[in-house]
Amino acid sequence: MKVTIVGGGLTGLSAAYYLGRAKPDWHIHVYEQAPRCGGKIQTQRVGEFVVELGPDSYLGRKIEMTDLIMDLGLGDTLVSNETGQAYVYDRGTIHPIPGGSIMGVPTEMMPFVKATLISVAGKLRAGLDYFKKPYPLDVNGDVSIGHFFTYHLGQEMMDKLIEPLLAGIYGGDIYKISLLSTFPHFIQVEQKYGNMVKGMMAAKKSHKKAGVNQGAQGIANEGDMPRAGKDAVKDKEFERKGTAAQSGMFRQLTGGLESVIDAIVAQMPSNVAIHTNALVSHINYSDEQYELIVQGRVEKTDKLIITTPPATYVDWFCHDAVFDNLRNMEQSSCAIAIMCFDKSTFDGELQGSGLLITRKTDTPLTACTILNQKWPQTTPSDKIVLRVFIGKPGNDVVERYSDEELSQLAVTEIQRIMKFSANPEWVKINRLIHCMPQYNVGHRSAIKKVRDHVKENYPNLYLIGTPFDGIGIPDGVKQAKALVAQLVENN
């Protein structure tokens, strides 16, 4: 049996690893277009710095990633993030994110009453949610995150708290992103209790009764959070801002995320062949076999697993309109500027894990993580490292500017926002164009259409990865493991 896996990111590699182990007599080939495996996961290790150029960590409760790390023997290199207060920067002022909220939804009265971020009028409007009825969902039971939370909690809460938190995760337009595909738990809570505030309060109470000591975090954990926050700023929201130090919810490895890629490649079973610099340009299905064009060569395979991002389908299955559901999926762009300062010359104040920036603030920056405070093991003790996110809907600097210009922009903007004048010793830019699939309203039904169609018309073709069931690192590993279990059961 010959199995081909397209894409050598973590999803493709974990599919190969688990399948290779489960089926030692199958011949498995992984085709990766780049000279290296790992896809978006990329760690730069220079001297004592361990800097992530793409994803920064993963949500620990999503156990598939931790299981993989344990299987690879890297368990003793796992670390959790440091916890602390996170902040929101809104048009000139920095405010602590109020405690007692989950993804910006209040569950406790006092922290919100005291919060400086939201005006009295904004707080009153949010409180009115107590009397609101459920949002009228569309025929698929879906709604955008933006419309749902604006309806329940008002525009100010949306702009200052929920949008910076949630739009940051997807890097997209919050008024387009599907609640059903990202945080369906909020729909369930609303349907059960009538509105968000009542629902979150009731859920919190029941957790207290049941003795769940992490309070609102427990509720958050029940939701289908698609992935860990992109940086410490989001971490704080999941953890309830302002609470005393708990063990962080996010996981990293002392060797960086890329140490997982190195280990999985090194420990790949002998029946798996990994081909790098191997672009798959065409895929055809005929005579119950798949035919791939790989760097101009024709390769045939009995089973085909595709793990690549949605845009890759532009070149594949072109005659089949159902795949337009994948081809047409939007993908947002962003750039990450990582900058290092010497502690002795840094003239700013560094508090907590970092800050989120509201979309209404006139800057292309969306967030900044203080890396040496979130993940101290990544940075020498005499250095400060900031990870700044650039790029929001309607602003195309990420695509237009050169690396030099982006670097200059990131430094001057973060100096202005965080009020310091020290210059960095070095800046590293990673530009991620069309990197994040957007689960817009209707995503779930579109994906179901593709899946049903493939099941019916393309035997032995399996589609997994970021277009489907979650955009986070553990979501890809989970999909890979589930697929391997299905293949093992049926063969």
Ligand X SMILES: Cc1cc2nc3c(=O)[nH]c(=O)nc-3n(C[C@H](O)[C@H](O)[C@H](O)COP(=O)(O)OP(=O)(O)OC[C@H]3O[C@@H](n4cnc5c(N)ncnc54)[C@H](O)[C@@H]3O)c2cc1C
Q: What residues line the site for ligand X (CB under 6 A)?
A: 6-12, 31-34, 39-41, 54-58, 227-228, 230, 279-280, 307-309, 312, 334, 432, 435-436, 465-466, 471-473, 476
Q: Which two tokens stand for residue 51?
A: 């800097």
Q: Which is nearer to ligand X, 186 or 313 (CB)?
A: 313
Q: Mapping DSSP to helix (H, G, I), strand (E, B) and coil, where does residue 259 land?
A: helix
Q: Could you tell me which residues come within 8 angstroms of residue 280 by beta carbon, excluding any fewer than 6 positions away?
A: 6, 31, 33, 292, 293, 294, 316
Tell the smallest beta-carbon distance from residue 59 to ligand X (Å): 7
Q: Which is nearer to ligand X, 55 or 106 (CB)?
A: 55
Q: Which is nearer to ligand X, 352 or 467 (CB)?
A: 467
Tell the smallest beta-carbon distance from residue 9 to ligand X (Å): 2
Q: Could you tell me which residues come within 8 angstroms of residue 111 by beta carbon, excluding any fewer than 6 positions away?
A: 98, 99, 100, 101, 242
Q: Which two tokens stand for residue 453?
A: 């169609």
Tell the smallest beta-carbon distance from residue 199 to ligand X (Å): 27
Tell the smallest beta-carbon distance from residue 295 to ligand X (Å): 9
Tell the smallest beta-carbon distance from residue 229 to ligand X (Å): 7
Q: Which is nearer to ligand X, 30 or 117 (CB)?
A: 30
Tell the smallest beta-carbon distance from residue 42 to ligand X (Å): 9
Tell the smallest beta-carbon distance from residue 85 to ligand X (Å): 20
Q: Could you tell me which residues come within 8 angstroms of residue 391 by beta carbon, excluding any fewer than 6 positions away?
A: 171, 332, 333, 334, 335, 364, 366, 397, 398
Q: Which is nearer to ligand X, 49 or 389 (CB)?
A: 389
Q: Which is nearer to ligand X, 62 or 185 (CB)?
A: 62
Q: By the 8 A CB rule, do 19 and 481 touch?
A: no
Q: Which is nearer to ligand X, 135 or 250 (CB)?
A: 250
Dihedral class, residue 425 (left if φ above 0, else alpha if ψ from -120 to 50, else beta): alpha
Instruction: Return d(Cα 110, Cα 113) in angstroms, integer.
Output: 5
Q: By the 8 A CB rule, do 11 and 476 touch?
A: yes
Query: Treating both helix axes as pointing N-terminal to C-terminal, what angle do 163-170 and 232-239 enclose, rounded to 10 degrees?
Result: 130
- Residue 87 sits at φ, ψ, to 5 deg, of -130, 160
